[in-house]
Amino acid sequence: MDDMLEKNKSASVKPEIAKPGFCCIGIVDSCMLKCQMCQKWKEDAGTMGIPQPATEEWKRFIKQLRDVVDPGFEIDFGGGEALMKEDIFELISYSKSLGFKTTIASNGFLIDEKMAQKIVNSGLDSIILSLDSLLPEIHDSMRGVEGVAQRVLNAIKYIRHYSKTIHVGICSIIMEQTVGGLLHLAEWVNSNRDMTNSILFMAAMQPNNTEFDEEWYKNKYDYFWPKDLKKTNEIIDELIRRRKLGHWIGNSVEQLEAFKAYFNNPSRFVKKNPCNLDRAIHVSSIGDIFLCFRYALLGNIKNGDDIGRIWHSEKAELARNDIRKCQDNCHFLLNCFFEGDYPFITK
């Protein structure tokens, strides 16, 4: 009888829900550039005309998040261009006061000396600046505005003037227009350790704010998909070699291996294990809360919805089950919250 009671008791206990491992707040949904591989500068029908949360509503969410995650958890502020948000530095400082690490991804366009001082004074831990090539004609062409590359280089100098400790990283997209110069860019970062701390590579993806197309890389947006896969693989292999030697490359070896698998067969899921975005929290510019944007709207911070209750809700668990079955090599899985499962499926 005791054995049966113990068995029934064990069957009724739900498995422990893992804590979040990633949080991205898409603080704005607009941008001043006109990047060919990202169309955040176009209006998003899903957010158009909908009010954004007030500063205090963002703060309430951040405070709630503190009780859900481990100490030292990182909040990523993204966009669009996050520096367009008027209260961004107030939110960063508030997050820091609660013990969070904070990161911003930026195109660097708005960072003059005054802005650099605000960035440093906010307590921001890390800023990742987009730079796809050391050749201005390539970077500016892909970003759609002349002079962007030089603004990024100036931004690095301004930030370093006010802080020697803030992490300044470079983010570069592996695509047809840039692949030939990636090693040069990686070497530039590795040789300028007094100015930059890392270079992070991302795989080309279907542009934001475009209608989903499983074979986008063959159709309308094929122009920035790497054409010479042998050359692309060789360059990524060289990045892996340098990464093992201790060069300042932010990607893990496992993630770089996953890029190779993805470019060789983008329709084949690159991981052996399920997608790990079941441990992610995404909040849109209008306050909608998701684990993954493709699966179940779970709440909105403007309604006062508590992220702790949401994280442990039945609706969130159903979304997790759907996410674990997903076989899509999406932007967030490959580029933003990659966790290595080596070796990968490569055939």
The pLDDT value given to residue 141: 96
Residue 283 has pLDDT above 80, yes or no: yes
pLDDT in tens, 154-171: 999 999 999 999 999 999
Q: What percent of the chain lies above the pLDDT cut of 70?
A: 92
Its CATH architecture, for the domain 20-53+60-336, is Alpha-Beta Barrel (3.20)
More confident residue, 125 or 18: 125
Q: State the pLDDT confidence band at 297, using cuts at 50, 70 and 90.
A: very high
Q: State the pLDDT confidence band at 79, using cuts at 50, 70 and 90.
A: confident
- Give the helix ranges, DSSP H, for the chain: 2-12, 55-66, 88-97, 113-121, 136-143, 148-162, 182-191, 229-244, 253-264, 307-311, 314-325, 331
Q: State the pLDDT confidence band at 282, using cuts at 50, 70 and 90.
A: very high
Q: Taking the model in full, what pTM does it have?
A: 0.91
* Closest C-alpha among 22, 42, 28, 23 to residue 207: 42
pLDDT in tens, 182-209: 999 999 999 999 999 999 999 999 988 7
Which whole number is the average pLDDT over 118-133?
Answer: 98
Which whole number is the average pLDDT over 229-255?
Answer: 96
The pLDDT value given to residue 205: 93
Which whole number is the average pLDDT over 258-280?
Answer: 92
Residues 6+ apart with CB under 8 A from 191: none
The pLDDT value given to residue 337: 87
299 CB burial (10 A radius; 0-12, 13-18, 19+): buried
Number of H helices, E strands in the chain: 12, 9
Which residues is 76 bridged to in the sheet?
Answer: 24, 103
The ranges assigned to domains in the chain are: 20-53+60-336
The whole-chain average pLDDT of the chain stands at 91
H/E run at residue 78: strand 74-78
Residue 14 has pLDDT above 60, yes or no: no
Q: State the pLDDT confidence band at 78, using cuts at 50, 70 and 90.
A: very high
The pLDDT value given to residue 46: 67
Q: State the pLDDT confidence band at 10, using cuts at 50, 70 and 90.
A: very low
**Is the bond into 80 cis (omega within 30 degrees of 0)?**
yes
> Side chain identity at 128, as an amino acid letter?
I
**Beta strand 22-26 pairing with 126-130:** unpaired
The pLDDT value given to residue 212: 84
Which of 53-62, 104-113, 130-139, 265-274 has the lowest average pLDDT? 265-274
What gap in Å lies between CA 93 and CA 124, rounded to an integer?
A: 8
Residue 112 has pLDDT above 60, yes or no: yes
The pLDDT value given to residue 3: 56
